[in-house]
Amino acid sequence: MRPQALRVAQLRAQAGLLGPGAFAIIASMSEIVELLRSALSSGEGVLRLAPAWVPRSFLMPGGRLKLHPADLYALGAHRGGIDERWFSSTTNADNGPGTPDDEGLSYIVAANGAAGPRKVLLKTAVDEIGDEILGSDVMSTHGGWNVLCKFFDNLGPIPHHMHQDEEAAARVGRRGKPEAYYFPPQYNYKENNFAYTFMGLEPGTTKDDVWRCLERWNEGDNGILYHSKAYKLKPGTGWQIPAGVLHAPGSAVTYEPQVNSDVFGMFQSMVEGRYVPWDLLVKDVPPEHHQDLEYIIGMLDWEANVDPNFMANRHFEPHPVRPVDEMAEDGYSEAWVTYSTASYSAKELTVHPGRSVTIRDAAAYGTIVTQGRGQIGVWDVHTPAMIRFGELTADEYFVTAAAAGEGVRITNLSPDENLVMLKHFGPDNPDARALVR
Ligand SMILES: [Zn+2]
């Protein structure tokens, strides 16, 4: 089958549309678009998404994503435990051989009748009718949804690593990656093994120090953490990590908006007694530089790593979008939880018990409900207590640029409990521009 025909056949299977043959295949993309337009119309610009679960073979899952404990290894123990849930994703997981074609990608629940859900990839929707979802201005400037947002949930820490900047990533045909963290209190009822993150390098560290750590790679722990400093992770706050800066994320459940690229280099040879192969240091290094320590160390943003005001420059408390008193009178509070960069931004919206608000935003966004129950536009939403792998939830949605601009009515139907949702935005959100540093 031609690649295009194969792709369409896969899309048809996902959408629950049957029928082979070239003529039917050509007709099918218009069927899929029709299905999407019908979902946009019945959802009044708010699309329901199915959970996208992602395993990681080199980490131990933390068990706090509400996935049933019996389903943590639903994709096979050899593929690793499920420790990530990706949101509004148009990005494939880079999980090596054996990774399903659609791993990491979010599905829109385009219809859900007696015959079961009919699902279409959000990526297909953006590729086919991106103007109607993200807006024609975003499509012409960015060409798609260039952000990846996820929860990650580990039992212990991740090795000290960095993500290449645009220049270093371009040499391996990829994009550079800054990333941000926010620790949602609702998912952090338990800290797990190490709720501290080493970040950057202790001021005074020299390139020779890092050189010697890399030389010691095969002698057990290479000691890179002796040259760094760990910060206690505080629920309800976050960090912004530019490309080229080392970090070893701790065991807090982390909401992580980032540029949609999977470049990285691990600088720590052993974590919690487990060996990290050199391959993971040079995964995104051109082959001729795989043993070139000067090149490898040159990928670090040295000044940013040894910044003596690291915390002051990178740690972020929530920033209210309006005066707190005024919002409280209107029955809600909303704050930026990820800001300072043009690459992405995120807000946390809290609607008070029994209250209803209409919130406008200048750009399309994805959202995950972290607490409570109520309505988002036409949708009944609630936070799940426990999710079986493969089941739908009523906690994740995508709001088109047009619906965001008109305003979405959000109602908290609980008399007692807040309705809380996190909202992730792509690059260059006009509402977040004033906060870019
Ligand atoms: Zn990272």
Cα 189 to Cα 43, 305, 381: the distances in Å are 33, 31, 22
**pLDDT for the residue 115:** 84
Chain length of the chain: 437
Number of C-alpha atoms within 13 angstroms, CB side, residue 185? Answer: 9
Residue-wise pLDDT for 89-130, tens only, equals 999 998 888 899 999 999 999 998 888 899 999 999 999 999
**pLDDT for the residue 362:** 98
Per-domain residue ranges of the chain: 145-316, 319-398+407-435
- Cα of 244 vs centre of ligand 1, distance in Å, is 10
Q: Is 405 exposed, middle or buried (0-12, 13-18, 19+ CB in 10 A)?
A: middle
Mean pLDDT of 276-302: 97
**pLDDT for the residue 116:** 86
Cα 81 to Cα 13, 51, 217, 245, 261: the distances in Å are 27, 16, 27, 27, 22
Does the pLDDT of residue 38 top 50, yes or no? yes
- Cα of 178 vs centre of ligand 1, distance in Å, is 8
Q: How far apart are CA 341 and CA 179, in angstroms?
A: 10
Does the pLDDT of residue 20 top 90, yes or no? no
Does the pLDDT of residue 6 top 70, yes or no? no
Residue 175: CB atoms within 10 Å: 17
Cα 180 to Cα 117, 249, 314, 338, 340: the distances in Å are 33, 11, 9, 7, 10
Share of the chain above pLDDT 90, in %: 90
* Nearest C-alpha neighbor of 32 from the set 115, 130, 112, 121: 121
- Cα of 48 vs centre of ligand 1, distance in Å, is 28
**pLDDT for the residue 13:** 53
State the first-to-last Cα distance of the chain, in angstroms, to the nearest integer. 50
- Cα of 369 vs centre of ligand 1, distance in Å, is 24
**pLDDT for the residue 15:** 53
Q: Render 246-272 in DSSP notation, one character per residue.
A: -EE--SS-EEEEE-S----EE--SEET
Tokens of 149: 């947002």
- Cα of 180 vs centre of ligand 1, distance in Å, is 9
Residues 177/283, Cβ–Cβ less than 8 Å = no
**pLDDT for the residue 213:** 98
- Cα of 199 vs centre of ligand 1, distance in Å, is 10
* Residue 122 one-letter amino acid: L
131 versus 26: the higher-pLDDT residue is 131
Residue-wise pLDDT for 125-145, tens only, equals 999 999 999 999 999 999 999
- Cα of 267 vs centre of ligand 1, distance in Å, is 12
Residues 242/200, Cβ–Cβ less than 8 Å = no
CATH 3.30.70.890 fits 319-398+407-435, yes or no: no
Residue-wise pLDDT for 239-270, tens only, equals 999 999 999 999 999 999 999 988 999 999 99
Residues 370/420, Cβ–Cβ less than 8 Å = yes
- Cα of 410 vs centre of ligand 1, distance in Å, is 33
- Cα of 69 vs centre of ligand 1, distance in Å, is 26
Tokens of 308: 């003596």
At 57, is the pLDDT very low, low, confident or very high (cuts 50, 70, 90)?
confident
- Cα of 55 vs centre of ligand 1, distance in Å, is 16
Tokens of 286: 């051109």
Residue 216: CB atoms within 10 Å: 14
Strand partners, 403: none
Our CA angle for 301, 306, 308, nearest 5°, is 135
Does the pLDDT of residue 175 top 60, yes or no? yes
- Cα of 153 vs centre of ligand 1, distance in Å, is 13
- Cα of 160 vs centre of ligand 1, distance in Å, is 8
- Cα of 31 vs centre of ligand 1, distance in Å, is 39
- Cα of 203 vs centre of ligand 1, distance in Å, is 21
- Cα of 256 vs centre of ligand 1, distance in Å, is 9
- Cα of 249 vs centre of ligand 1, distance in Å, is 7
**pLDDT for the residue 47:** 98
**pLDDT for the residue 266:** 97
CATH 2.60.120.10 fits 145-316, yes or no: yes
Q: Which DSSP helix (H) or strand (E) runs through 324?
A: helix 324-329
Read off φ and ψ for residue 160, nearest 5 degrees: -60, 120
Q: How far apart are CA 132 and CA 125, in angstroms?
A: 9
Residue 30: CB atoms within 10 Å: 10
Does the pLDDT of residue 16 top 70, yes or no? no
Residue-wise pLDDT for 191-229, tens only, equals 999 999 999 999 999 999 999 999 999 999 999 999 999
Residue-wise pLDDT for 362-415, tens only, equals 999 999 999 999 999 999 999 999 999 999 999 999 999 999 999 999 999 999
- Cα of 248 vs centre of ligand 1, distance in Å, is 7
- Cα of 204 vs centre of ligand 1, distance in Å, is 23
- Cα of 179 vs centre of ligand 1, distance in Å, is 7
**pLDDT for the residue 114:** 86
* Nearest C-alpha neighbor of 351 from the set 321, 324, 331: 331
- Cα of 71 vs centre of ligand 1, distance in Å, is 26
